[in-house]
A and B are shown apart, each in its own frame.
Chain A
């Protein structure tokens, strides 16, 4: 019973997530609305990867956006060199993010608590300033990406509908992957290492290795989000790897519900949609968003995911 409920819930959430953009675009007759939802989907992937190490691994990374930047620049550099097929671009993006995550992970995983947060931030800033100072890749001004990734014959990357479903398809695959990982044998070991590292070590788990694998996997998945972002924005800027962006990802995870299955999806949609609506009224939209975030955190256990759980009749409250 529980298993089939989980499956129905998963199908409903993912279907609603994919359908939201097209429904709005068709109703408003404005195909450019799709772009807003593409951004929400991309943020959902990035936030889901952060949720994996934050919610399940207990690792508060304050530099997670660095992989958005890595994925974005890797894609942009390949695209501008006219290397467009996805089966070349995506493996390169994944390998690049994995290497950076490995480098960062090997350093930060020797620390914990506040030090972990600060050092992830510091290391991410190194890559941010690398991008800022690299005049070859546009430096502070960023880099225009002239071509989008190609997939198969018949796929037109510059057709709004084609491209939307390209983003949505990869998003669904990434979310399913994250969901699988946290429920896998490995995922449970990751939780064990969060819950009681002393005991996990005494049982024979190598806590450092388990965390490092989780950290690198999260980096790779966030790199894929960067790959999508490069295609969507047709632009790569150091700003994608900035600490503000890392902060936004944390906000999305916390808003959606830390350690919940679909929290990152709820959080990303709430964040991007509110941003695009509120920004229409005022450039000081964070003044309105801040109190909203505080209310959600104060009144709903487990963020928006907790709220959704409460709204579904007959569903036992989690936790």
Chain B
């Protein structure tokens, strides 16, 4: 399999704290790559480096064979590097349907143009697709609600919907299942599988170990900003080092 995303020797420090130190990571077409590690290991920092919200102190992010280090967040988003947020980031005072519509528009016409000044917002053009997305993500009845009025699960669904319909070439999911019940999480995983076209790779950050071992093709374990190991779920599960550094900690819960 060819890789679409490659991190080379990424280091990030905040003042004296080394959040990431020489991290290498590779994401292959069609794979689900999970990133696990204890709290403060640098998982979200890594996603921010990928999406361009954070500049690494050293190292290179390669996307589709070229360096994207010089690209801003919105330029990377236009290439299809799509992320979700750990704490849902929605347009709070805009109805659910409009959140989705904005994502569809960002996909098709991200740049500012004169046409946008002339054209009305509620285009019939998107009506069918909008209805389909609302149905698929179970948000039909809440289409006119504001995100602030949604339940936690619905917010997660909307967050995910906005990412998936933007037609990503890579999906970075930052704890998409956090705070969800087991059944809600399973439903959401099924949705991701259904909506995502064949070989879009996913980088999944998740604390729910059952979900990680169930979904991931490959797992990278991050501890204190360093890659402890990368391997198949089986390898990771059987690694004594990982057990010591991370999984045992989970047992404390």
Contact = CB atoms under 8 A, between A and B. Distances in A.
Nearest to A203: B106
Most buried by B among A181, A184, A201: A201
B233 to A, nearest CB: 29
Interface string A171-201: 0000000000101111111011001101111
B121 A205 contact: no
Contacts of A181: 117
A195 B93 CA distance: 7
A184 to B, nearest CB: 6
B112 interface: yes
A184 B120 contact: yes
Given A186-B116, A195-B93, A199-B89, A206 B121 contact: no
Contacts of B24: none
A185 B108 CA distance: 13
Given A192-B102, A204-B106, A204-B110, A184 B116 contact: yes
B74 A201 contact: yes
A189 B89 CA distance: 16
Contact of A204 (B107, B118, B120): B107
B112 A203 contact: no
Nearest to B172: A202
B117 A203 contact: no
Interface string B153-167: 000000000100010
Contact of B73 (A184, A185, A191, A201): A201
Contacts of B98: 188
Contact of A202 (B89, B116, B123): B89
A207 interface: yes
A185 B121 contact: yes
Contact of B112 (A198, A200, A209): A209
B116 A204 contact: no
Contacts of A189: 102, 105, 112, 116
B39 interface: no
A202 B90 CA distance: 11
B116 A195 contact: no
Interface in A110-132: none
B92 interface: yes
B119 interface: yes
A273 interface: no
B117 A202 contact: no
A203 B120 contact: no
A203 B93 contact: no
Interface stretch (B7-15, B75-83, B181-189, B214-222): B75-83
Given A195-B93, A196-B89, A203 B119 contact: no
B103 interface: yes
A213 interface: yes
A44 to B, nearest CB: 21
Interface in B108-131: 110-112, 115-121, 123
A218 B240 CA distance: 63
Interface in B52-68: 53
Interface centre among B110, B111, B112 (most CB of A within 10 A): B112
A200 B94 CA distance: 13
A201 B85 CA distance: 13
A152 B175 CA distance: 66
A293 interface: no
A296 interface: no
B51 interface: yes
8 contacts: A184-B119, A185-B117, A189-B105, A192-B102, A200-B106, A202-B89, A204-B78, A204-B106
Q: Which 6 A-B pairs have the closest CB atoms?
A: A203-B106, A204-B77, A204-B110, A186-B116, A195-B91, A185-B116
Given A191-B91, A203-B77, 11 more contacts: A185-B115, A186-B116, A191-B94, A200-B91, A201-B74, A201-B77, A203-B102, A203-B162, A203-B166, A204-B74, A204-B107
Interface of B: 51, 53, 73-74, 77-78, 82-83, 85, 89-94, 98, 102-103, 105-107, 110-112, 115-121, 123, 162, 166
